[in-house]
A and B are shown apart, each in its own frame.
Chain A
């Protein structure tokens, strides 16, 4: 598996965050906020 998942080279550094983990955390955080918002919407207007 190491062949397939070796670390990224420096030229693959993403914009905005210092590593891709920042982007992945952003996606999960946005999803969590959306789900929480949807839950509030469902409960508040039901």
Chain B
């Protein structure tokens, strides 16, 4: 990177960390530290909710997802606005009425202490691990692209977040997320504009959309119902609805954003803002990925986007085979580009038959290109059996480094850092709140004064930060980082949501029944995932991971009702 890029990157990060720390210094009580003295307005809450969900994983993985798989991932977010409505009606009034610090406090007033503790522990396990991935995602990109040590990069990102989150608590998280969100959205929109402006002069935006559509990248909506299909309209509006209700309603990293509002009205408006903007925001990020795909149909892309792996292979005994495959890939690219240009000309002339003919040929060439890429990956594994062959998450930043002008590269790296910091700070803040309020203050040390708990929550923030860094350094690259986080959430969220739904809507089910039901449901979800991961699940149990949310939630409700019958009969 150039001096200007470094200046933009470091200037952005140092400003956000220093300003956030200075502006929110000196919390004097636990309420100020964990709830920001209930001073947040609706747009601050809305930005906080969006910035918490939009981690670096969102900005690294999503364009790569669109590049390889098209736009269909946007359907995953269709359940989100509906979830916002349900939470606004049900969850927010209760949290405000009980003046809770964490979502799990409510469960003790409704059930008992053990159910509150179980839900808290499930959250701590899930979110503690996810915090590690949240740090790891940008760390691996930076360390690979800039040649940094991965561990040192993990420590750097984690430390920056720890500084202001330990210092200012919730108020620091809210304050910094406003600037981070501005950097993220500004940087991504600028990058999107530049991709479009860098398309060949004879390819208009309309042509670009036709190229994307004919090559299967504008597959935004699919109404076909298929349980094993991860992303379609029905999985988005039902299974993902459960995930979002659980994430926004029972995950303390989100609950903490909106219980800090001045009133129920401010919190509800924050959720409405998220419900209105989230789907368009994801659409735009995916569209940027699709435009990168179109760009690479007219500019030769690398055969493999992880350049470090490619260079390792080039220097190895397999370097000759790599060069031969690269030559094949170039020939494939040239022929495909020719087909697509002819398709565009036919499209403008309105000759549908010729368009279809060239599109079919171009798609066949795309598949051939993928086969060549698979051969390169096989070669990389032959050279090093531990080599990471998934390069989806490198596509967008690879494009940024190779093609965007000086200054923009630094800004886009700042986007990734800002995104990582915004979600990690919320996570550490929430992990600390839950540990302090639900475990330490409630079970371990009930007799401390406010100053003691304030000190404790600062220490817990620090310790969770250190743990997140440790998790990050031991994480390995999953198939796709954003899917890894959603999978991890889906394993636990269904059970937690089930507990809350029973609490709200099935009044006759009491603590013992829901506690046992939650344990049984979690065991079932983990077993189903094991069977699916090993590909030994019977057909009726074969499902995409989003459905774990529905299954877990349904099992808690079902087991809870049945067990309550037995417990009631015994008594």
**Chain A interface (Cβ < 8 Å from any Cβ of B):** 1, 4-5, 8, 11-15, 20, 23-24, 26-28, 30-31, 34-35, 38-39, 41-42, 44-46
Contact = CB atoms under 8 A, between A and B. Distances in A.
Contact of B209 (A5, A13, A15, A45): A45
B221 A8 contact: no
B275 interface: yes
Interface residues on B, range: 35 or more
B265 A27 contact: no
Contacts of B81: 27-28, 30-31
A38 B269 contact: no
Interface string B57-98: 000000000000001001000100110110011100110000
Contacts of B85: 24, 27-28
Chain A to chain B: the 6 pairs with minimum beta-carbon distance, closest first: A45-B213, A38-B220, A27-B81, A38-B221, A24-B85, A27-B275
Given A27-B275, A42-B219, A14 B82 contact: no
Contact of B269 (A14, A31, A46): A14
A41 B220 contact: yes
A33 to B, nearest CB: 10
Interface string B381-404: 000000000000000000000000
B363 to A, nearest CB: 12
B210 interface: yes
Contacts of B264: 8, 12
Given A15-B269, A20-B88, A42 B218 contact: yes
B280 interface: yes
Interface string B215-242: 0101111110000000001000000000
Interface string B500-530: 0000110100000000000000000000000
Main secondary structure of the interface of B (DSSP, over half): helix
Nearest to B106: A4
Contacts, number: 85
Nearest to A34: B279
Given A12-B263, A31-B279, A46 B94 contact: no
Contact of A1 (B84, B276, B507): B507
Contacts of B209: 45
Interface of B: 71, 74, 78, 81-82, 84-85, 88-90, 93-94, 209-210, 212-214, 216, 218-223, 233, 263-265, 268-269, 272, 275-276, 279-280, 283, 504-505, 507
A1 B504 CA distance: 7
A21 to B, nearest CB: 10
Contacts of A1: 504-505, 507
A35 B78 CA distance: 8
Nearest to A7: B93
Contact of A12 (B210, B218, B265): B265
A38 B90 contact: no
Given A20-B268, A24-B88, A38-B74, A4 B263 contact: no
Contacts of A13: 265
